[in-house]
Amino acid sequence: MHVTRRSFIKGIALGGFAGVLMARPGRALARAAAGVQSRPVLALVSGAVERSAFLQGIAETVPGEFLRVQRTDHGMGFVRDFNQLLRSGQPTRIIGLVDDASAALIVELARASGARVPWLGYHAASSGHSRHRLLSTESTRGCAMRLGRQLSACGAGFSLSEQRPHHAETSFELAARPHNGAAGDSDRWAAALGFILAAPDAELSAWMPPSVGTRPPLAGNFVSFAIET
Amino acid sequence: MTEQNYAILPPGVESQAFHNAVQQFRQLLGNENVLVKQEQLVPYMKIMMSVDEAGHAASAVLTATNVEQVQGVVRICNEHKIPVWTVSTGHNFGYGTAAPHHRGQIILDLKKMNKIIEIDPDLCTALVEPGVTYQQLADHIKEKGYKLWVDPPAPSAIVGPVGNTLDRGIGYTPYAEHFMFQCGMEVVLANGKVLRTGMGGVRDSNTWQVFKWGYGPYLDGIFTQSNFGIVTKMGLWLMPQPDVFRPFAVKFRKDEDIKDLVEMFRPLSINGIIPNGVVFAGTLYEASVTVRRSDYTTEKGATSKDVIQRIRDEHNIGAWTAYGALYGTHEQVEVNWRIVIDSIKKLGKGEIITEDHAGNDPAFKYRADLMRGNMTLTEFGLYNWRGGGGSMWFAPLSQAKGSETVKQVELATRILNKHGLDYVGEFILTQRALHHVIDVLFDRTDTEEMSRAHDCFAELLGEFEKNGYGVYRVNTAFMDRVANSFGPVQREVNKTLKRALDPNNILAPGKSGIDLDI
Ligand SMILES: Cc1cc2nc3c(=O)[nH]c(=O)nc-3n(C[C@H](O)[C@H](O)[C@H](O)COP(=O)(O)OP(=O)(O)OC[C@H]3O[C@@H](n4cnc5c(N)ncnc54)[C@H](O)[C@@H]3O)c2cc1C
């Protein structure tokens, strides 16, 4: 699939998700309470991520009409169209959770186009446990800590390390073992991550990622990013 | 962070001095070409190595658009003793990507110097700036209607001939050895002077891109894999489009077949029957196009032989798959094809696959694309084999002899498996030598695995060295270590040259282990 502006799916149209994500009138209030501003967001996903709680987390804070979701791959078509988008001159906030191969291209293309990358995260998830290695910056300050808190609250086991290579503050690390019976919630990290990347400045303390339900939890390795053109 | 409060400074440079330098850079290049904000620097940090990003974090990034600006950058760097790490397109995946050798160095990113200065369709030459990508060059050739091919490495579209050639990279057409097909350079030296190598020193010369050697000592080599200058223009030769291009693969079923297949292909390569960079891809390298390790196992550690065999069986992948191609007129290709077929028949093993047989096989398709100089990014599938963003190329040279390849594969596999990692490797044959290219893939979210990968890479270097093998290129974390493999005299000569050409040690200290401070 190619990333032409025309082909962007309005709202979340991947995998028949639209209903789940958009029929949530109560969320607008939550958004308002959290002080979230609505601005257009392009979410890039690959493989199983499009069926994961990641998009659900984003939809908690970005209204459907401001959200475009696009699948990635590492084909020439994607690269050409993504490059065009990066160089189109239109300010865009791009967030994503994708496979390693796509991420290598996306981040490098972003750099080549002169885009800013306030967040880069590497994630590994298996049933009941997840690992997170994060690079953050001034504008995503506190996001790693918020993700850590959400992970703690979910009860699944995790380890998280944040590096802020361009900051005097030292990096921090967090880890926890799974609470009893918490394995079923192990996909919540993806929801929390989606929320945080979509709204890095939002107040999150009272927010709890939605339960994952019956979907199989996200397993494998992923890369998350925020890119600003 | 206020700009006066820089989190990272170049080694030995005070904050105020750095601030003054940044102001001078701004004046020289304009604000938009001096990047000091964190979110502008993070994209230069996808290092993929078995070390923390912090050790390779730049203090600033500069982008220049012309030679005078590069000279200006060098002048300011000399004034403040600021080390500057230059990249052209900066996608040096598996070797440190665009990040500098050590923390605090500034990066000079030449991506905006991207002019194709000249292409001569008769002489089949090009003169390009460092930011030109293979995609750009191929598009330009197509637009002009020239019957010429480029020779990209596997990341083709996004990388460029200057950066790739300066790191002595390799491709897959008959022009695979890039430095062999490079002709003439323009180099900004540390003293600010501009050197044109080869015939480029002669006023009004029109032979700069056609004759490599010039007069006196041949200098181009000292500006590759080195830190003696900043290359601002490079000449290269382009391949005339042949009438016929015939790619093929030969699949071999057993691990030990590598021995015989190398013996068979070497004479065909040396005699010019198969003129391109022939690849012998191991199972997992080949599999990574379509298979992920997690499709078969989620257990930590090396992938078992049983699993590898299942992958071979279920995806019809050989223990080794050789990829070559024939080029030329119809008659030439027919004659050479007969020779190839006869050689394989005589060997008594190996399943020949032509383009027609291969159908839509994505592995065949992308290999054929590379041997034809087309753009493809399929090989990035390697990063999904294990996942986790860790990748370091271990790239020893081997004689083109079957017995040597067996020895290297066994040695590498034993060391990789001992550290819980896989042999994901291939050989690229260029007549007498084989680049043995092994992607050491590991999960950077797992600190224990990352540290195993580090030890593994060090052991690979050490054990190969004990057997008389050296690597042709390495990532920034291991450059100093590898320089030792090539002996103290080579190090001393390099240092002498460095002292003479760059006494302030401002150009990429650490590149290939050359640094006046160590
Ligand atoms: C899947 C995959 C497959 C790959 N396959 C291949 C392959 O087939 N062949 C191959 O060669 N590589 C391969 N690579 C490695 C690498 O990505 C390529 O070599 C790539 O071309 C290097 O990046 P670049 O061209 O952007 O060069 P750059 O990153 O711009 O430059 C490389 C280095 O050269 C030096 N340099 C660059 N510009 C200058 C300058 N102007 N002056 C002085 N010094 C300079 C610097 O030290 C720099 O680090 C592969 C990588 C991946 C991920």
pLDDT digits (tens, 9 = 90+) for B350-384: 999 999 999 999 999 999 999 999 999 999 999 99
CA distance B200 to B207: 8
Tell me: pLDDT of B347 over 50: yes
> Percent of chain A at pLDDT above 70?
73
Tens-place pLDDT, residues A104-154? 999 999 999 999 999 999 999 987 889 999 999 988 988 998 999 888 887
pTM: 0.94
Within a domain: B364: yes
CB contact under 8 A, B57 and A221: no
Say if residue B55 is in the same domain as residue B165. no
What ipTM was reported for this prediction?
Answer: 0.96
Within a domain: B79: yes
CB contact under 8 A, A76 and B157: yes
B131 within ligand 1 shell (Cβ under 6 A)? no
Q: Final residue of a domain: which of B44, B78, B109?
A: B109
pLDDT band at A177 (very low <50, low <70, confident <90, very high): confident
Tens-place pLDDT, residues B4-15? 578 899 999 999
Within a domain: B466: yes
Tell me: pLDDT of A28 over 80: no
Name the DSSP letter for residue A170. Answer: P
Closest CA to B248 of B227, B218, B268, B228: B268
Say if residue B445 is in the same domain as residue B496. no
Which domain CATH number covers B485? 1.10.45.10
CB contact under 8 A, A74 and B1: no
Domain residues for A183? 5-228
Within a domain: B8: no
Say if residue B80 is in the same domain as residue B169. no
Say if residue B262 is in the same domain as residue B359. yes
pLDDT at B257: 98
Distance B89 CA to ligand 1 centre (A): 8
Say if residue B277 is in the same domain as residue B423. yes
Query: Residue B299 in 3-state DSSP?
Result: coil
* Region B452-456 average pLDDT: 98
Distance A20 CA to ligand 1 centre (A): 45
Q: Which residue has the tokens 């190619």?
A: A2
Which domain CATH number covers B201? 3.30.465.10
Which residue of B44, B52, B447 is in closest CB contact with A111? B44
pLDDT band at A39 (very low <50, low <70, confident <90, very high): low
Residue B118, C-beta contacts closer than 8 angstroms, at least 6 positions apart: B125, B126, B127, B209
Least confident of A158-172, B156-170, B340-354: A158-172
Distance B169 CA to ligand 1 centre (A): 7
Q: Final residue of a domain: which of B180, B213, B240?
A: B240
Q: Name the closest residue on chain A to residue B42, using Cα atoms.
A: A117
Q: Final residue of a domain: which of B85, B109, B133?
A: B109
Strand B320-328 to B244-252 pairing: antiparallel
Domain residues for B31? 15-109
Average pLDDT of chain A, as a whole number: 79
Within a domain: B6: no
Residues of B in contact with A74 (CB under 8 A): 377-378, 380-381
Higher per-residue pLDDT: B501 or A213: B501
Say if residue B267 is in the same domain as residue B375. yes
Within a domain: B5: no
The encoded tokens of residue B243 equal: 């009438």
Query: Residue B185 in 3-state DSSP?
Result: strand
Say if residue B417 is in the same domain as residue B282. yes
* Region A160-182 average pLDDT: 76
* Helix ranges (DSSP H) in B348-426: 355-358, 362-371, 382-385, 402-418
B381 within ligand 1 shell (Cβ under 6 A)? no
Say if residue B313 is in the same domain as residue B344. yes
Say if residue B197 is in the same domain as residue B299. no
Say if residue B290 is in the same domain as residue B346. yes
Tell me: pLDDT of A31 over 90: no
Which of B66, B92, B180 has most ligand 1 atoms within 8 Å of CB, for mutation? B92
Within a domain: B7: no
CA distance B109 to chain A (A): 9
Domain count of the fold of chain B: 4
Average pLDDT of chain B, as a whole number: 97
Say if residue B482 is in the same domain as residue B431. no
Say if residue B236 is in the same domain as residue B160. yes
* Region B313-332 average pLDDT: 98
B167 within ligand 1 shell (Cβ under 6 A)? yes
Domain count of the fold of chain A: 1
Tell me: pLDDT of A13 over 90: no
